[in-house]
Chain A
Amino acid sequence: MIDVVLVTLRELVRRRFVLAAILATAVLVGLTAWGFDHLVHVHTRRGALSPLEIATTSAVLTLLIAYMFAFVLAVAATFLSAPALANDIESGVLLPVLSRPIARTSVLLGKAIGVALLLGVYAYAAGGVEFVVVHAITGYAPPHPATALAFIWMLSLVMVAFALLLSTRLSAIASSIVSIVFFGIAWIGGIVGSIGQAVHNDTLVNAATVSQLVLPTDAMWQSAAYALEPAAMIAVTHTTAGHNTFNGPFFVAAPPPTAMLLWTIGWIAVALALSSWSFARRDF
């Protein structure tokens, strides 16, 4: 299996996915640095922003950037995982590989681990650089950045497992599209849940819970967001949560329960097991 992991990583490097990600991230970090630098030096009619105002604004912007980052990582996970298997099936690259004394499960898990490792390294490297830049410019640091990045990575792993499962039977493009559609449904589900809580509607809250169970990406985002929110922001969201105030997907009053994290880990394990079962039974 380690050979498949290594060749998957080598493919991602040689096909310039890594280079493209580094360049795109450099642009993103540069633009946000420019934006935060303007924030620090902005002048209102009352004069320069106070340190508290800068910290509050930085906290909100950091959450927005993290949200975008989570979206990018989810899309990257999908568009790297689906072709990793489906393209090799369609092109015939897998035919001589699978005629070797290697279990199909090892091939599938090797590809999953290769993509997951790259996403993990990218999540911590790019996210870490972004947090360091924000701190260097504004002095603001989110309370639990490493934990937040772990949840964002977990979110991407859900997409890796889901896209791989689909790609054992569908083409790369079909797998990617279906994965992104379900990701969008889970995202909307999270917003619906937030609305449900604001208006005290159990039906909406339950619908959101079901969508989180079907594809637990939004639950992972909520856990990440909670880890990024300063205590003062959590206090504000707590205050408004019971007063018909819609917080949207960016502000979380309470993290999903620990059981949700366990569900997500189990979900990934079951998705990979189903992928392995499906892949082992398909004909070439």
Chain B
Amino acid sequence: MVSNNPAIDVRHLVKRYGEVTALEDLSLCVSRGEIFGFLGPNGAGKTTAVKMLVGLSHCNDGEGNVLGRPLGDRAARRRFGYLPELFRYQEWLSAREVLALHAKLAGLSRAPGAREITRVLDLVGLAARAHHRVGTFSKGMQQRLGLAVALLGEPELVFLDEPTSALDPIGRHEVREILRKLKARGATVFLNSHLLSEVELVCDRVAIVNRGRVVASGPISQIVGAGHAVRVRASADGTPLESLLARFGPVVVEPDGVRVDGVAHEDIPEIVAALVAANARIYAIQPLGVSLEERFIQMTEGGNA
């Protein structure tokens, strides 16, 4: 039964390591069934936050729930999976043995556990190496194994901390497909990643964290904003385009047209009308937004990576 309460709901979490404050006042709410991107520069507190959510670290202040249970609750751990950023698995075990250990720890019984192990090995493309020792695996293969461990038992919520950092482009594409399948079956994904282009491709909502605080959160379209500028490719007899469009905002001449900055989305029909009225030949009107990366850099003051 899928509950209506949020998958993650934490308020005012504080984490200090001696004099260093890793998380200052972290509040988050992640709905069920969404892919949530958690972004921030190095040292922003992303991994600390994930570790607190999965019960590996204790908070100094604040409170919250994961899957409706208090932070650190053991029963909730039966229902989520976790791929750490610094993944390492017992190198003297085979991939299948690592998964068998986690299946037992997760409380899966023997026969369904064996089937589940086969399923996740197929899912991450490790079926052919199931009986090979982890010590012989490349970093990318170990990351695939970590993903398989996290997906074992079809958890309701999956925490993925930099899940594609060691993967090649094909591996990254496969992970995106896995995330979409997770979403399709109603699972919630908490994705901690530096790869903003990937986050843009798969996440429903994101939160940007900087210096231990959430500085922005919401749907990506809301974070980046819309109607930031318009690129116009047109030719008008007699009147230069920059003169024609100057009333809509600052005009920048580009090699194949002009860019009008500071244009709201609803002003675009007005621009088209002005061009038509001037008998201009219109080849393209392209609304331009800020990329997530640009917005990320703005919000994190240039980052500190």
Contacts and interface: CB of A to CB of B under 8 A. Distances in A.
Interface of A: 3, 7, 10-11, 14-15, 91-93, 95-103, 281, 283-284
B106 A101 contact: yes
B128 interface: no
B284 to A, nearest CB: 50
B277 interface: no
Nearest to B15: A283
Given A101-B106, A283-B51, A284-B57, A92 B78 contact: no
A93 B107 CA distance: 19
A284 B105 contact: no
Interface stretch (B30-38, B87-95, B199-207): B87-95
Contacts of A92: 84, 86-88
B170 interface: no
B56 A11 contact: no
Contacts of A99: 54-56, 77, 80, 82
- Chain B's interface size range is 20 to 34
Interface of B: 17, 51, 54-58, 74-75, 77-78, 80, 82-84, 86-90, 92-93, 101-102, 104-107, 146, 149-150
A93 B88 contact: yes
Given A96-B149, A103-B74, A283-B56, A3 B104 contact: yes
A125 B80 CA distance: 44
Contacts of A102: 74, 105
Contacts of A11: 90, 92
Contact of B92 (A10, A95, A100, A101): A10
Given A11-B90, A96-B84, A101 B77 contact: yes
B82 A96 contact: yes
Given A96-B84, A99-B55, A99-B82, A7 B101 contact: yes
Given A7-B90, A95-B86, A101-B78, 19 more contacts: A3-B104, A10-B92, A11-B92, A91-B88, A92-B87, A95-B56, A96-B83, A96-B87, A96-B146, A96-B150, A97-B101, A97-B102, A98-B55, A99-B55, A100-B105, A101-B77, A101-B106, A102-B105, A281-B58
A242 B104 CA distance: 61
B102 A100 contact: yes
A93 B90 contact: yes
A218 B186 CA distance: 61
Contacts of B89: 93, 96
Contacts of B90: 7, 11, 93
Contact of A96 (B57, B58, B102, B107): B102
Contacts of B107: 101
B106 A15 contact: no
Nearest to B133: A14
Contacts of B75: 101
A2 to B, nearest CB: 9
24 contacts: A3-B101, A7-B90, A7-B101, A10-B92, A11-B90, A11-B92, A92-B84, A93-B88, A93-B90, A95-B84, A95-B86, A95-B87, A96-B83, A96-B84, A96-B89, A96-B149, A98-B55, A98-B56, A99-B54, A99-B82, A101-B77, A101-B106, A283-B57, A284-B51
